[in-house]
Amino acid sequence: MKLNKLSPEEKRIIEDKKTEPPFSGEYENFYKEGVFVCRRCGAVLYRSEDKFDAHCGWPSFDREVPGAVKRSPDADGLRTEITCARCGAHLGHVFLGEKLTEADTRHCVNSLSMKFTPKDAQPGAETAYFGSGCFWCAEAVFRMIRGVLSVTPGYAGGAVENPTYEDVSTGTTGHAEVVRVEFDPTRISYEALLNVFFATHDPTTLDRQGNDVGPQYRSIILAGNETQFEIAQKTITDLEEEKVFASPIVTQVVQLSGFYEAEEYHKNYFQKNPNAAYCQSVISPKISKMRAKFSALLSK
């Protein structure tokens, strides 16, 4: 992961977890349209529409880009520290229950932890690729998420060019059923999409999801760049250390080498066939689980 060079004062805030003096930061009284990104790694953290004047002396936001900010108990034992979920840069602290906005949350952030990107220079759409068993299920799940622009089922991870569904179903092409997820990084982070991926399938079963058996149904993440590759590997390491799953994770993490769109009849399958037996018995329960666990991420 490429990290930006920091000045001594930026290092003091970001790495040594110090706090800049109140009312001294560049973004304390700042209300241009755009996004605020991590000064060290460039990950999108906050949007300008979520910034508000808390009269506290530091830039304040009542919500973050989902998945972009990590909360941890502060070393003082009293407060909750916030850090960049991608690189761990210290941002500041989060406070709840002050009733300053409808969200009732205040992210109190050091200006030196962020850089502002104006609206006309915001990052464009990004793309992620996930295989979690049958692509009908994955497509239905990711279509629900706010900030996801499109979801396309297809085949990836193998060496055969332009495979058909029948080819992939033999289990001999090396390809897995996957989805291509185009998303707006100012509304949803890659980290948040990974959280959804791991929570909505079993990443501990080799070449199998339920009754779908074969290498085409394996758990796989296909990284479009080095940053995605590193984030995916770190996510797996964190899940293993936290013992989220009872068995070892067998999810493959590979660099994307090609993606082939599935046939037209596979696209938007759940929406077209909601009463089909597979949709009722397999996809609908996943949808229910998604609504319960990730309500804050769902499209309105």
Q: Do 155 and 102 fall into the same domain?
A: no
**pLDDT tens for each residue of 177-217:** 999 999 999 999 999 999 999 999 999 999 999 999 999 99
**Which two structure tokens, joined as six digits, stand for 249?**
């994770």
| In contact, 130 and 197? CB cutoff 8 Å | yes
**Of the candidates 121, 146, 171, which is a domain's last residue?**
121
- Of 195, 188, 183, the closest CA to residue 231 belongs to 195
Report yes or no on 65 lying in a domain.
yes
Confidence of residue 45 (pLDDT cuts 50, 70, 90): very high
Report yes or no on 110 lying in a domain.
yes
CATH code: domain of residue 47: 2.170.150.20
**Of the candidates 89, 121, 153, which is a domain's last residue?**
121
Total number of domains constituting the chain: 2
Which secondary structure element, helix H or strand E, spans residue 106, and what is its range?
Answer: strand 105-109
User: Largest alpha-carbon pair distance within the chain?
Assistant: 64
101: containing domain = 8-121
Catalytically annotated residue among 87, 134, 137, 279: 134
Report yes or no on 3 lying in a domain.
no
Mean pLDDT, residues 149-154: 98
pLDDT at position 92 = 98
Catalytically annotated residue among 38, 84, 87, 108: 108
Q: Do 152 and 292 fall into the same domain?
A: yes
Percent of the chain with pLDDT over 90: 94
Report yes or no on 286 lying in a domain.
yes
61 CB-contact burial (10 Å; exposed 0-12 / middle 13-18 / buried 19+) = buried
Mean pLDDT, residues 83-97: 98
Q: Do 13 and 86 fall into the same domain?
A: yes
Confidence of residue 289 (pLDDT cuts 50, 70, 90): confident
Confidence of residue 114 (pLDDT cuts 50, 70, 90): very high
pLDDT at position 122 = 87
Eight-state DSSP code of residue 120:
G
**Of the candidates 104, 121, 138, which is a domain's last residue?**
121
Confidence of residue 2 (pLDDT cuts 50, 70, 90): confident
Would the pLDDT of 299 be above 80? no
Would the pLDDT of 300 be above 60? no
Question: Where is average pLDDT lowest: 84-88, 154-158, 288-292?
Answer: 288-292
Would the pLDDT of 290 be above 60? yes
CATH code: domain of residue 279: 3.30.1060.10
Task: Compute the Cα dihedral for 287, 201, 42, 18 and give only its sign.
Answer: positive
134 a catalytic residue: yes
Distance CA 212, CA 202 (A): 12
pLDDT at position 223 = 98
Q: Do 157 and 277 fall into the same domain?
A: yes
Q: Do 168 and 259 fall into the same domain?
A: yes
Q: Do 205 and 287 fall into the same domain?
A: yes
Mean pLDDT, residues 123-130: 96
Report yes or no on 2 lying in a domain.
no
| In contact, 3 and 87? CB cutoff 8 Å | yes
Q: Do 273 and 148 fall into the same domain?
A: yes
